[in-house]
Amino acid sequence: MKKVVKFGGSSLASAEQFEKVGKIIRADKARCYVVPSAPGKRNSKDTKVTDMLYNTYALAESDDAFDKELDAIKARYQEIIDGLKLKLSLDKEFEVIRENFKKKAGSDYAASRGEFLNGIIMANYLGYEFIDAAEVIFFDEDGNFMPDHTNEVLSARLADTPKAVVPGFYGAKLDGSVKTFSRGGSDITGSIVAKAAHVDVYENWTDVSGFLIADPRIIDNPKGIDTITYRELRELSYMGATVLHEDAIFPVRKEGIPINIRNTNAPKDNGTWIVESTCQKPKYVITGIAGKKGFCSINIEKDLMNSEIGFGRKVLQAFEENEISFEHVPSGIDTMTVFVHQSEFMEKEQRVLAAIHKLAHPDSIDLESDLALIAVVGRGMRQMRGTAGRIFSALAHANVNVKMIDQGSSELNIIIGVKNEDFDAAIRAIYNIFVEIQL
Ligand code: ASP
């Protein structure tokens, strides 16, 4: 049995957190590959080292003095080294970083040093080998991740290295320059290492005990999700459930390697298992609820629209020409509605409307703003009759007016559009009916 263990920034923010992590790793021999993030916040007022690095580099880039800021970053690491009583000095590394900042090595290089330095400390603390991610994770010249080349090089390297630390978040282009993933990208590194090392489980350790059925800012103490499929997770993450980076599932998904989200501060909790598919019946009909505010709908009417071939394409072309992606397109006999992100749409509004008029010649167009979309997701919905009925009667009881309904052909989710102001009430009503009352 082999496992990759990835630890997030809050799990590695201080020497005490490092000690918890050390205990977790030593408790299971299978935990042979470790992917650390940069030190995160020690408390709510603290700053993540990654943000400190971006800010410090911005000073270097505009030729301002940055010594004080870089020294503050060094102090964060020194505190960890001293707290763990390690015989390790990062003086040389910091001299190289200082020089490279002066040479304007780029903000990706700057940000990547957070994980790089934490990786050196982690390897020293555990007695594992340190593998610089820049030597094994590759991007092409346009900055796109190169999965095949990476897998080839990384697999070969790990085959010779039974225990290693590979820092998260970055790799390098073929010319050697450092490139990072998007923020939170250490999750992706964990997945890449899991695939290359052919491990049995990818454990992703963070500061919560996995995914919750609903947002705890809306529902008090929501229940956790024990098992979720990759597809369900995609739906929920897209709608704002953020525990894991969206792209982290792709490398392991094809390999059938499950991801287990765990809590460094509560290591006995089972957390959430993310799997390809499962026979396990979910506890509730729904697996999770997530949503986002800030959409608007463009409602287009035209008599006999239904029989006009190409009408939908012409309408959507107006959005494409203005580089706006649409979320949902429910339609009726003589009406078609397009849901878009309000912030993206607003500045281009009149141009889009003019384009729809020009291309599709509708009878009228009417806009509605401040809408929210809610996704009710669950693999269990397919086998159950009446799920939609229950959702809508719960919403009616909560006095929530439903503006839009969209059920994907996968029957994995039902999307509901409501006014922004009804968002919390709608989520509460749906949670209640499926989880609290279990009607
Ligand atoms: N340290 C990086 C960030 O703050 C990457 C990560 O933690 O995954 O985004």
Over pLDDT 70: what percentage of the chain? 100
DSSP tag of 306: G
Write the CB contacts of 367 (distance below 8 Å, at least 6 apart in sequence): 296, 297, 298, 299, 349
Site to probe by mutation for ligand 1, drawn from 6, 7, 12, 37 as the one with most ligand atoms within 8 Å of Cβ, is: 37
Question: Taking residues 81-89, what's their average pLDDT?
Answer: 97
For 144-166, the pLDDT digits (tens) are 999 999 999 999 999 999 999 99
CA of 189 to the centre of ligand 1 (A): 11
CA of 180 to the centre of ligand 1 (A): 10
Question: Taking residues 399-415, what's their average pLDDT?
Answer: 86
Over pLDDT 90: what percentage of the chain? 86
d(CA 422, CA 426): 6
The closest alpha carbon to 433, from 284, 282, 293, 235, belongs to 284
CA of 378 to the centre of ligand 1 (A): 30
Site to probe by mutation for ligand 1, drawn from 7, 17, 46, 48 as the one with most ligand atoms within 8 Å of Cβ, is: 48
Q: Is the CB of 36 under 6 A from ligand 1?
A: no
Question: Taking residues 294-308, what's their average pLDDT?
Answer: 93
Q: Relative to the CA of 184, which ligand 1 atom is closest? A: 8
> Which amino acid is residue 279, in one-letter code?
C
The closest alpha carbon to 122, from 52, 199, 44, 26, belongs to 26
Identify the pLDDT of residue 90. Answer: 98
Give 64: exposed, middle or buried? Use CB within 10 Å, 0-12, 13-18, 19+.
exposed
Predicted confidence (pLDDT) at residue 405 exceeds the cutoff of 70: yes
Q: Is the CB of 11 under 6 A from ligand 1?
A: no
Site to probe by mutation for ligand 1, drawn from 41, 117, 169 as the one with most ligand atoms within 8 Å of Cβ, is: 169
Task: Give, rounded to a whole angstrom, the gap between the first and last alpha carbons of the chain.
Answer: 41
Write the CB contacts of 30 (distance below 8 Å, at least 6 apart in sequence): 1, 2, 3, 200, 201
CA of 244 to the centre of ligand 1 (A): 11
Q: Is 136 helix (H, G, I), strand (E, B) or coil?
A: coil
Between the CA of residue 389 and those of 398, 406, 424, 434, 438, what are the distances in Å?
A: 14, 13, 20, 12, 14
Q: Relative to the CA of 182, which ligand 1 atom is closest? A: 9
Identify the pLDDT of residue 39. Answer: 98
Of 37 and 383, more confident: 37
Site to probe by mutation for ligand 1, drawn from 6, 48, 50, 178 as the one with most ligand atoms within 8 Å of Cβ, is: 50
DSSP tag of 386: T
For 192-229, the pLDDT digits (tens) are 999 999 999 999 999 999 999 999 999 999 999 999 99
Q: What phi, psi does 287 have (nearest 5°)?
A: -90, -40
Predicted confidence (pLDDT) at residue 86 exceeds the cutoff of 80: yes
Q: What is the DSSP string of 28-50?
A: -TTEEEEEE-----SSTT---HH
Q: Relative to the CA of 48, which ligand 1 atom is closest? A: 4
Question: Taking residues 20-45, what's their average pLDDT?
Answer: 97
Identify the pLDDT of residue 439. Answer: 58
User: Which range is least confidently modeled, 46-60, 355-369, 395-409?
Assistant: 395-409
Kindly indicate the confidence band of residue 278, based on its pLDDT and cuts at 50, 70 and 90.
confident
The two three-digit tokens of residue 126, written as one number: 């555990």
For 40-75, the pLDDT digits (tens) are 999 999 999 999 999 999 999 999 999 999 999 999
Q: Is the CB of 281 under 6 A from ligand 1?
A: no
CA of 50 to the centre of ligand 1 (A): 7
Between the CA of residue 335 and those of 87, 201, 306, 331, what are the distances in Å?
A: 71, 49, 8, 6
Q: Relative to the CA of 114, which ligand 1 atom is closest? A: 1
Q: Is the CB of 167 under 6 A from ligand 1?
A: no
Q: Which residue has the tokens 């957390």?
A: 271
Predicted confidence (pLDDT) at residue 92 exceeds the cutoff of 80: yes
Interior CA angle at 319 toward 313 and 324, to 5°? 135
Q: Is the CB of 371 under 6 A from ligand 1?
A: no
Kindly indicate the confidence band of residue 294, based on its pLDDT and cuts at 50, 70 and 90.
very high
Identify the pLDDT of residue 239. Answer: 86
CA of 302 to the centre of ligand 1 (A): 49
Predicted confidence (pLDDT) at residue 240 exceeds the cutoff of 90: no
Identify the pLDDT of residue 102. Answer: 97
